[in-house]
Structure 1
Amino acid sequence: MHLLRAGDEVFAVSERNLSDHNISQGRFSVLLLLWNPAQRRLGAAGSPAPCGNTGPRTPAELADAAGVTRATMTGLIDTLERDGLVRREPDPDDRRMMSVRLTPKAEIFLADMLPAHFQIMARIMAALSESERKTLVRLLTKITQTASELSAPATPVATGIGANAAVAKF
C-alpha cells in the first residue's frame, strides 16, 4: 500500500508541474526518452537525464522503454508531431524504419521546464540519504522486473481432448 501511495503522490506533484506546461505525463516521458543531455545545455539548474537517453529512437524502442503498447506510442508521437515537438524521419541505417527525434521547439521547451521539474524531484528525494536513495532504486528495480514478468502474456498450454491433435494426425 505504501508503494502505491508514494507513487500516487509523486505522480500528482509531477502532473501539477507538467499541467503548468500544458503537457501530459505520457508525452513528457517520450520527450525525456528522446532528450540527449550530452548535446544540450540547460545551465546550472539542469541535471543528467534519467534512463540513459541517446537521442533519436524508433517508435518500437520508445514503446518498450516507456512500457506502453506500440499503438499507444504511435498516438503519443502523433500528438507530439502535431504540436511540433518531434519529427519522424527515415532511419539512416534502415530506410524501412522511422526514427523519432526532438525538434528545436522541443529542446527549447525542455530547457525551459526541466530545471523546475528536476528541482521538484530533488526536493522529494531530499528526504532520503544517499544510501537510502541507492537502496530505493535497487528495490524498485527488483519490483519492476518482477511485476513485468508477471504482467507478460502467458504462453498458452494445450490441454484437454485434442490437445495433441496435431501430433495424433495419421
Structure 2
Amino acid sequence: MNRQDVIPSLVLSSYALARIAAQDAGNEAPAAQWRVLSLLEQNGPRRVGELAQAARTTQPGMTRLLGALERESLVLRSPVPEDSRATAVAITPEGSRALHAWREEFRDTLAPRFTDLDDDDWRALTRAAEILAAHTTTDSTGASQ
C-alpha cells in the first residue's frame, strides 16, 4: 500500500469495524447517538447547530436525535444564558454511563477478531492509535472530529 492510501484505508477499516461490532453485539442504537455522546463527553456542552455541524448532519436531524436522547435521559438541553434563542446540550451522568457501556461492549465484541495478533502487531496498532489520536483536529465549533 502506498503512503497516500494508508489513512483512507484506516478510516474505512474503522467504519467497517464499527458496523461489525454493532451487528455482532446486536446494538441497534444509531451510530450518530454514540458520536454525539462522544462529542459532548470530550468537549462539554454544545449548541444544537454546533453538534449538527460536528456530526455532519442537518440541524432538524440533530434536533430529532437529541429529542430521542433526551427522552432516554442521555442528554439535557438547557437555554444558553447569553442567547435566549439558543439551546445548549450536555451529556448526563446516565449518558456517560451508556457511552462507557457501549465502548466496553464494542471492545469486548471486537476482541476475538484480534486474538491472533502477536506483540509486534499490538505495538504497531498501539502506535497507529496514538498517531491518529494526536492528529485528530478540532473543527470550527471546537468539537473533535
TM > 0.5 fold call: yes
Residue among 71, 77, 90 paired with 1:82: 71
Query: C-alpha displacement at 1:23, in angstroms?
Result: 1.8
Unaligned runs of 5+ in 1: 36-52, 142-170
Query: C-alpha displacement at 1:129, in angstroms?
Result: 6.0
Distance in 1 of aligned mates of 2:134 and 2:24: 23
Query: How has the CA–CA distance of structure 1 residues 132 and 76 changed in structure 2, closer, same or farther, with 3 Å as cutoff?
Result: closer
Distance in 2 of aligned mates of 1:61 and 1:114: 24
Query: How has the CA–CA distance of structure 1 residues 111 and 65 changed in structure 2, closer, same or farther, with 3 Å as cutoff?
Result: same
Query: How has the CA–CA distance of structure 1 residues 112 and 7 changed in structure 2, closer, same or farther, with 3 Å as cutoff?
Result: closer
Identity rate of aligned residues, in percent? 27
RMSD value over aligned CA atoms? 3.6
Q: Which residue pairs with 2:32 in the alignment?
A: 26
Residues 87 and 100, structure 1, Cα contact 8 Å, conserved in 2: yes
Between the two proteins, the alignment pairs up a number of residues equal to: 121
Q: Which residue pairs with 2:48 in the alignment?
A: 59
Relative contact order (alpha carbons < 8 A, sep ≥ 6): 1 or 2 greater?
2
Query: How has the CA–CA distance of structure 1 residues 110 and 18 changed in structure 2, closer, same or farther, with 3 Å as cutoff?
Result: farther
Unaligned runs of 5+ in 2: 138-145
TM-score, normalised relative to structure 1: 0.54
TM-score, normalised relative to structure 2: 0.62
Which SS does the other structure have where 1:113 is aligned? helix
Going by fraction, where is strand more abundant, 1 or 2?
Answer: 2
